[in-house]
Amino acid sequence: MPSRKLITAIATPAVLTLASVAPALSTTPVSTASAAAAPAQAPRPNLVFIMADDLGWADLSTGLTNGGYGNDYNETPRIDQLAEEGQVFTEAYASVQCSPTRTALHTGQYATRPTNNVYAVGAVTGPASAPLRGVTQGRLGEDGRTAVPVGYQTLGETLQKAGYATGYSGKFHVAGSAEEIVTGHGFDENWGGSQNSHATYYFATNDQFNDSVSPSLDQFAGDYTQAYVDENIAPYSVGVSEAQLDALVGTDKHVTDAQTDAALDFMDRSKDEPFLAWVSEFAPHFPVNNAQARSDLLAKYQAKTAGQSPAKPSYGALTEGVDQSVARIVDYLEETPDPRNGGKPLADNTVVIFTSDNGGEEDPVNSGADNGPLREDKGQMYEGGIRVPWIVWSKNADLVRGGGRSNETIINSTDLYTTLASYAQAALPAGVPMDGIDLTPAFGKGTKINRTHFHHLPGYVGVQRPSSLVRDGRWKLYYQYTDGSFALYDLSKDLGETTDLAAQKPGLVHQLGEQLITWLDETDAPLATLRAGQPTRVIEGFTGTTYADGEVTRHRGDTLTIAAGDPVPFVLPKP
């Protein structure tokens, strides 16, 4: 199905304050019954969550999701169509890498919570030469392997308790094993998900994927047949010859197609009850090279003329493969009668969300993503590392107010839990702090919700050092623990974070710093410590506020002493 003409008119949403939606740091469960977005008497909606892996902010060909920086090389017509028909969130955040994003999605909590405690894919302790030592994260030991705590009630378990069928397709990563996804994290079925961080090879061999993909997906790993190509690939192909499509017959199945097959099979078997289909794409995560791309799409991009965006044929092919996955899912929803809703199409009572798990990796050798004007990429706390596309779509205007509407609500991964629980009219776990807010007023009415976003890394990820940040409206404040420095950016004028305004606006730095200290305290954020062998740090005559050891302290002319092994505090001088 071809893409429709982009809608350029953007509606201005109403504004709703955070206090009238859900307190982000409250330990009281959020009531969801009154916030359910489905129309009266309608059955509870089906929920489909689709997440690409390492897709850059400017990798989609639409400009609706990224401030007009659509990609002129990659082609994503059906994701573009979702944006045109649905609602896009231009201020959406994930984490610096995939595992903290995934843990936040499943728990509804920031990484700073002890029941989350996932900050990166591997250990964040840092090199021996680093002045600070990062924390020990996760629950699987000193090597930094990360996993959602088994005893925690995940989003999947919450929806299970509310009567939803739950199915998982694709990369999971934050589990101790493939079996744990079903036994401990709330999914009735799992195809391909495991503790592994990515698919090391995208194709099946002899009807089996390699051991980076759970063997549960192998039942969908059979070679391409003519019937399969005609039904599932040809209808979504643009700029691909009939001969290139025919050449797929008898060749190995691509993992993107297999996991889409699994998701569709689950939805078809589960449509007699409300369902959650979680589709976690392996693509376009590295390795990104010609051997990983489906041959018809690779040939298309190899023949394509480059524009202004990065032009890597294998990356374009993997990205369009994800687009075809989305197309097949949406077509199924639009064409399949809903037995719970009078035979209307499933799309009339389904909410679809599309996003990415972190910023794209702009490595032309191993990846090939594009974050457009955003600074840096995956692994860093600048916008290029954590800002992601976010699209929500439904054929039911009561569920999603669409029409290409742009919404500037600042959202992050923790919001998925509370939002899907609200749609499902599911009770949140009692006595558990939930950091996400209920986005159904934004999804269903186009309301802009004013809220503050935080991020904290008490360790090292590549070149990223221990840092915290707060985003409040147009302003973004960074704090670096290694040297106690602040940086302030006005994202409304400086999306690329090129001009540090901290020295010019000390009062605003202090105001945002107080918000950040309050959040660190309320979430019991752990801190990196001064590494053994480092000289003791002394700050004399300090007046201001510090956070360390789970406490906020006000100082007036005090001497601060930080010895090896001590947590290095957040230090906010009085302006």
* Residue 524 scores a pLDDT above 70: yes
415-424 and 98-107 helices, crossing angle to 10°: 30
Supply the pLDDT for residue 38.
Answer: 43
Supply the pLDDT for residue 141.
Answer: 52
Cβ pair 50, 354 in contact under 8 A:
yes
3-class DSSP state for residue 259? helix
Cβ pair 255, 203 in contact under 8 A:
yes
Cβ pair 49, 423 in contact under 8 A:
no
For residue 230, the 8-state DSSP code is I
Q: Is 173 a catalytic residue?
A: yes
Cβ pair 293, 203 in contact under 8 A:
no
Range of weakest confidence among 7-21, 59-73, 228-242, 368-382: 7-21
DSSP per-residue string spanning 127-151: -TTSSEEPPP-SSS-TT------TT
Q: Which of 98, 106, 285, 456 is catalytic?
A: 98
Supply the pLDDT for residue 251.
Answer: 98
Domain ranges of the chain: 15-122+139-452, 465-573
CATH for the 465-573 domain, from 3.40.50.720, 2.60.40.10, 3.40.50.10490, 3.30.1120.10: 3.30.1120.10
Question: Among 232, 101, 108, which Cα is nearest to 171's?
Answer: 101
- Compute the distance between CA of residue 96 and CA of residue 457 in angstroms, rounded to an integer: 9
Question: Among 234, 264, 263, 262, which Cα is nearest to 248's?
Answer: 234
3-class DSSP state for residue 532? coil
pLDDT bin (cut points 50, 70, 90) of residue 143 is low
User: What average pLDDT does range 369-391 have in this prediction?
Assistant: 98
16 backbone dihedrals φ, ψ, rounded to 5°: -125, 135
- Compute the distance between CA of residue 437 and CA of residue 25 in angstroms, rounded to an integer: 9
Mean pLDDT of the chain: 92
This prediction's pTM: 0.93
Q: Is 98 a catalytic residue?
A: yes
Q: Among residues of the chain, what percentage have pLDDT more than 70?
A: 92
Dihedral (Cα; 425, 429, 431, 432), 10-degree rounding: -110
Question: Among 9, 10, 7, which Cα is nearest to 62's?
Answer: 7
Quick one: 564 exposed, middle or buried, by C-beta within 10 A (0-12, 13-18, 19+)? middle
User: What average pLDDT does range 172-200 have in this prediction?
Assistant: 96
pLDDT by residue (tens digit) across 283-340?
Answer: 999 999 999 999 999 999 999 999 999 999 999 999 999 999 999 999 999 999 999 9
Cβ pair 94, 101 in contact under 8 A:
yes
C-alpha Rg value of the chain to the nearest Å: 23
Supply the pLDDT for residue 41.
Answer: 60
Cβ pair 155, 186 in contact under 8 A:
yes
3-class DSSP state for residue 559? strand
Cβ pair 528, 134 in contact under 8 A:
yes
pLDDT by residue (tens digit) across 40-99?
Answer: 467 999 999 999 999 999 999 999 999 999 999 999 999 999 999 999 999 999 999 999
Quick one: 450 exposed, middle or buried, by C-beta within 10 A (0-12, 13-18, 19+)? middle
Q: Which of 106, 173, 254, 453 is catalytic?
A: 173
The tokens of 524 are what?
Answer: 């019991």
Q: Which residue has the tokens 């147009």?
A: 474
Question: Among 241, 376, 366, which Cα is nearest to 312's?
Answer: 366
* Residue 371 scores a pLDDT above 50: yes
Supply the pLDDT for residue 390.
Answer: 98
- Compute the distance between CA of residue 359 and CA of residue 379 in angstroms, rounded to an integer: 8
**Beta strands across the sheet bearing 452-457:** 452-457, 467-472, 475-480, 485-490
User: What average pLDDT does range 29-48 have in this prediction?
Assistant: 61
- Compute the distance between CA of residue 323 and CA of residue 333 in angstroms, rounded to an integer: 15
User: What average pLDDT does range 118-123 have in this prediction?
Assistant: 94
The angle at the Cα of 438, spanning 432 to 444, to the nearest 5 degrees, equals 160
User: What average pLDDT does range 394-418 have in this prediction?
Assistant: 97
E-assigned strand segments in 363-410 = 390-393, 405-407
- Compute the distance between CA of residue 137 and CA of residue 117 in angstroms, rounded to an integer: 6
Supply the pLDDT for residue 146.
Answer: 81
Supply the pLDDT for residue 138.
Answer: 76
pLDDT by residue (tens digit) across 439-487?
Answer: 999 999 999 999 999 999 999 999 999 999 999 999 999 999 999 999 9
> How is domain 15-122+139-452 classified at the CATH fold level?
Alkaline Phosphatase, subunit A (3.40.720)
Supply the pLDDT for residue 15.
Answer: 43
